[in-house]
Amino acid sequence: MGQIVNTADSILKQAGNCIRNNPHILVEVGLAGMVLALLEYNVQAGKEHEKRDKLVEEQLKKNQAVIQILFSDAQKVGELEKINEFLMDALTQLSLNAAQA
């Protein structure tokens, strides 16, 4: 155990001397760490953005399917209204003919 402490103490002293003699290294290591952290954050944000894009795309497809169904139903209602108008005209004509007879 004493050997590990002596070795660690020696390494820490050497690191301290290196940093004291070259303080720019500490700054550069700190900056490099910040850059790596920012890159990781950007990667995670990109993945979240892709997930949201996929969810929005799926919802858009569902909405388009509903719109298509509603459009088809609206066309059918329009056709039924035309038929209903024709039938009402025919009934009105029959009623007028029956009243005149």
pTM more than 0.85: no
Average pLDDT over residues 79-84: 93
Say whether pLDDT at 83 is over 90: yes
The overall average pLDDT reported for the chain is 89
- Where are the domains positioned within the chain? 2-100
- Cα(43)–Cα(37) distance, integer angstroms: 10
- Cα(54)–Cα(49) distance, integer angstroms: 9
pLDDT tens figures, 18-62: 878 888 888 888 899 999 999 999 999 999 999 999 999 999 999
Q: Which two three-digit tokens encode residue 84?
A: 């209903």
